[in-house]
Amino acid sequence: MLHNQSLGSLEIVARSASNLKDVETGGKNDAYAQFSLNIKDAKSFQKTKTHKNAGANATWDQTIVLEGAPDEHRVLYVEVMEEDFGADAPIGFTAIRLDQIQSGPVSGHFDLFTPDGKQKGEISLNLRFLGNAAQSGHGASNVRGRGELLNEHQKRVKGLKSKETAQDVGVALGAGLAALGAAYLLGGGDKKKTEAEKGDAAVANH
C-alpha cells in the first residue's frame, strides 16, 4: 500500500503499444500516449510524441516525469489516443496501481481497454519513483503488469469518444451541405442557361 508516504516523482518510459484497435477511417492510427496521476484534472495529462501511420503498433521510447506522487494519487491513468484534426479519438486506456512498483521499478506490459470496456492491445512501460535509492535501475523486464478498467476512468474516455464522434458528424454534415449547395448552384446555372437558350430560339423564329 502507498498510504501515508510520498515516494517522489514518477518516471515513465513509454516504450510502445501493440495490437491496437484501428480507429482511423481510411488510414492508419496516428498514435500517442498520455499519462496523469489525477483523473479529475484534464490539464494534468502529459503526452508523448505522435507516431504517424503507426497502425496497430506504435513506438515512442520517450521519458515522461510526473512531478510528485502524493499519497492520494495511487493510480497512474494511461490513455492511447489517435491524433486527429479535430477532437482526438481514444484507442485504449488502462489504470495502473502504483503499489506494483513500491518495492522497486518495473518494466513490463499492461493490458489496454477500448472505450466500451473490451480488452484490446497492450502498452509497454518502464515505471519507477525518482529520488528513492531503492528505485534505481529499470527493474525486471517483460513483466506482465496489472492494468485495470476503473469506472471513473472509463466514463472520462467515453466522454472523449463522444466528443470525437460529434466532431466527425459535424464535419460530415458540413461537407454534405456544401455538396448540396454546390449541386444547387450548378443546377440553377444550367436551368438559367437553358431558359436563355429557349429565349434566343424564340427570337430567332420571329
Task: Render 32-99 in DSSP notation, one character per residue.
Answer: EEEEES-TT-GGG-EE---BTT-TT-EEEEEEEEES---TT--EEEEEEEE--SSS-EEEEEEEEEGG
DSSP 134: G
Least confident of 55-64, 89-98, 134-143: 134-143
Gap between the Cα atoms of 18 and 2, Å rounded: 30
Q: What is the mean pLDDT of the chain?
A: 82
Is the pLDDT assigned to residue 4 strictly greater than 50? Answer: no
In this prediction the pTM is: 0.77
Of 119, 72, 58, nearest in space to 93 by CA: 119
Report yes or no: 96 and 149 within 8 Å, Cβ to Cβ: no
Is the pLDDT assigned to residue 98 strictly greater than 50? Answer: yes
What's residue 172's pLDDT?
Answer: 46
What domains can be seen in the chain, in order of their start residue?
Answer: 10-164 (2.60.40.150)
Q: Is 189 left (phi over 0), alpha (psi -120 to 50) or beta?
A: alpha
Contacts of 188 (CB under 8 A, 6+ apart): none
Q: Give the chain's length.
A: 206
Q: Residue 143: pLDDT band by 50, 70, 90 thresholds?
A: confident
Is the pLDDT assigned to residue 113 strictly greater than 50? Answer: yes
What's residue 182's pLDDT?
Answer: 53
Amino acid in position 182: A
Task: Quick: pLDDT tens for 159-168.
Answer: 999 998 787 5
